[in-house]
Structures are given as structure tokens and as C-alpha cells.
Amino acid sequence: MIKKSTFVSSIVNFKYIPLKKQPEIVLVGRSNVGKSTFINALTQKKKLAKISKTPGKTITLNYYDINESFYLIDTPGYGYAKKSKEIKKQLLPMIIAFLEQTSNLKAIFQLIDFKVGATQEDDRIHQVLLQAGFEVVLLFVKKDKVKKSLVPKQLKMLVNHFSQIKYFFLISSKQQEGLEELKLFLSQLMDSNAND
């Protein structure tokens, strides 16, 4: 259960680490996949993460303190066409460099648009993360955008596509679906961290 959630800091210097050492869950996903909406739904705070109508607004690392026990870190969205080529080229190396330098990383949550499916950018980022040895948990978001009758077929297609993945969750931030299961998973992750 998430009882307390606060925005901590928005940073552009990827070498900066908050003073308080806590486990970290890092969110990655393409621009406009709904990371901010997901954060607000998970924490049940409508304005905790700012939602922009312009994809790619987040070009920093945004730290959120959850229950004073772990950080949820929102990374810059990838793949938005209007970002300059230079920024797009820098994003992935910057994110990977950040992930490699932190000693508190517990898992990476990669958000995939359930209706759109996996894009080329999603696949590229996914493979880079796996090859680097990171634990990736897939969140198939925007479930509500797919007709109920088509959900099983779409889910099977995505699960087969990401055959190497151990954990995945089907989520609708709008309808609050799948979030309780994810919170339980987060709780188990933090418990395992305490026992390490």
C-alpha cells in the first residue's frame, strides 16, 4: 500500500544522487506513453507528476519518494519526433550511464502502450537494457484503449514478443486496473531488499 508520496527533485545532472539512500525503481518509456499519468494513478495523487499535452516534456530525471522507503524515478521519454536529433542521440546513453552508476537500482519498469504495441524504439531500448544485465519489468499501459474482446489476443501477442521477460503487468491508469497487483509486487520487491 502506498500511504505517502512526495516529489523530491527534478535534475538534469545524471550524476546527482539524492542524499538519502533508498532502493530505486526507474521508469522508462517512449514519449506520450503515459508515465506521468501512471505515477499519479499509482500514488492516487492527480497532480504529483505533471502531465503535458506536449510529448517529451520530461527531459530530466524526476525523483518521487514513495512511503519514505524507495524512489520512483521518471526518465526522459524516448522516440518523440520533434525532439532534436542531438537530444535523441544523447538520451539513451545518458539513461544507461545513470542506471550503471547507481548502486540502489531494484528494477526497471518499461512502459509499453498496450494498444500500439512494441515500437522500434521500445524494442531497441528493451534489448539494450537486457544486454546490460538489468532486471526489466514490463507494464502494458492504456489497457482501456483496447476493446475488451481483443484484450486476450493483444496480451498474448505482446507476451510472445517479449519472450525473455519474467514479470509483466496489464494496466489501465484511467480505470485503476492492475495497480493493486503492481503495488503487491513492489511491496515484495522492497521486502526482498530489506532481507538482502
**Where residue 185 falls among pLDDT bands split at 50, 70, 90?**
very high
**Where residue 59 falls among pLDDT bands split at 50, 70, 90?**
low
Domain boundaries of the chain, sorted by first residue: 5-186
Render pLDDT for 13-58 as a digit per residue (tens, 0 to 9): 666 666 678 999 999 998 889 998 999 999 988 788 876 555 555 5
Give me the pLDDT at residue 84, please.
Answer: 55
Q: What is the mean pLDDT of the chain?
A: 86
Give me the pLDDT at residue 56, please.
Answer: 52
**Nearest-5° Cα angle at 120, 26 to 153:** 90
List all residues 6 or more positions away from 89 whose beta carbon is below 8 Å from its beta carbon. none
Percentages helix, strand, coil for the chain (3-state, rounded to 5) are: 35, 25, 40
Render pLDDT for 81-131 as a digit per residue (tens, 0 to 9): 455 566 666 777 888 888 888 888 999 999 999 999 999 989 999 998 999
- Domain 5-186: assigned CATH number: 3.40.50.300
- Statement: residue 70 has pLDDT above 80: yes
